[in-house]
Amino acid sequence: MQFAMNALVEAYETETGTNCEIILGSSGKLTAQIQQGAPYDLFFSADTKFPETLQASGNTIGEPVIYTQGQLVLWSMKENLLVSIDQLSSNEVSHIALANPKTAPYGLAAEQVLKELNLYNALEPKLVFGESISQVNQFIISQAAEIGFTAKSVVVSPNISDKGNWITVADSLHSPINQAMIVLKNDRGLEKEAESFTAFVRSVKGLSILRQFGYQ
């Protein structure tokens, strides 16, 4: 959500004058931080499971709300490399980047794709795991990995849209990447501000920004 969230926050701050601070991390790691008392007001996850976990542990106000559905892509910065699922098995590819499936929903989706296609065991020696999508992107951009799985919102973002080659991975190969947001319980007294931001994300303007970044 990094690039889309930057755009959402910029638009919201312009419209309301309310300043927002963004903390980035994998959904699983952010969940652990929240459970340990991190002073966050809103949680935007790349799935529904982690917000539901926080609700069950009493860390939230209200229920998780699905704000978008993400899309998984296969991306490479390696010149002249044909980007395809078949290419993953070729000798041209020694490293395949994906986020840690235990903490990052897009990593779990990538793992599901490889298992659905019966490729996981054969490709396991090539797999390089990032702690988050951001780290996966670094692996791909630096070409430490010739190819990798990331979010469509990354490859269509303004700073990256002209870099490398990518394909969308068929949604039928993995569980839907439904992404949920939830207001967090703490003693900061900013519940109304948090709820105002969630309303903005679900507004015509907010949804338009999400669509610009490849979200459904």
pLDDT in tens, 124-166: 999 999 998 899 999 999 999 999 999 999 999 888 888 999 9
- State the pLDDT at residue 169: 97
User: Average pLDDT for residues 75-80, to the nearest whole number?
Assistant: 94
Q: At what angle do helices 191-201 and 2-16 cross, to 10 degrees?
A: 110
Residue 37 zone, left/alpha/beta (φ > 0; ψ -120 to 50; rest): left
Q: Hey, what amino acid is at 58?
A: G
Strands 60-70 and 177-184: antiparallel
Query: Are domains 2-69+177-212 and 72-173 of this chain identical in fold?
Result: yes
Q: What is the pTM of this model?
A: 0.84
User: Average pLDDT for residues 89-111, to the nearest whole number?
Assistant: 95
Taking CA atoms, 64 is separated from 61, 132, 178, in Å, by: 9, 22, 11
CATH fold of 2-69+177-212 reads: D-Maltodextrin-Binding Protein; domain 2 (3.40.190)
Q: Which superfamily does CATH assign the domain made up of 72-173 to?
A: Periplasmic binding protein-like II (3.40.190.10)
- State the pLDDT at residue 1: 87
Which residues touch 211 (CB under 8 Å, ≥6 apart)? none
- State the pLDDT at residue 185: 95
The pLDDT confidence band at residue 103, using thresholds 50, 70 and 90, is: confident
- State the pLDDT at residue 183: 98
Contact 173, 100 (CB under 8 A): no
- State the pLDDT at residue 50: 95
Q: Where are the domains of the chain?
A: 2-69+177-212, 72-173
The pLDDT confidence band at residue 61, using thresholds 50, 70 and 90, is: very high
- C-alpha angle with apex 159: 78 to 88, nearest 5 degrees? 25
Q: First CA to last CA across the chain, in angstroms?
A: 13
Residue with tokens 């559905």, as numbered in its chain: 69
What tokens appear for 75 in the block?
């991306």
User: Average pLDDT for residues 177-186, to the nearest whole number?
Assistant: 96
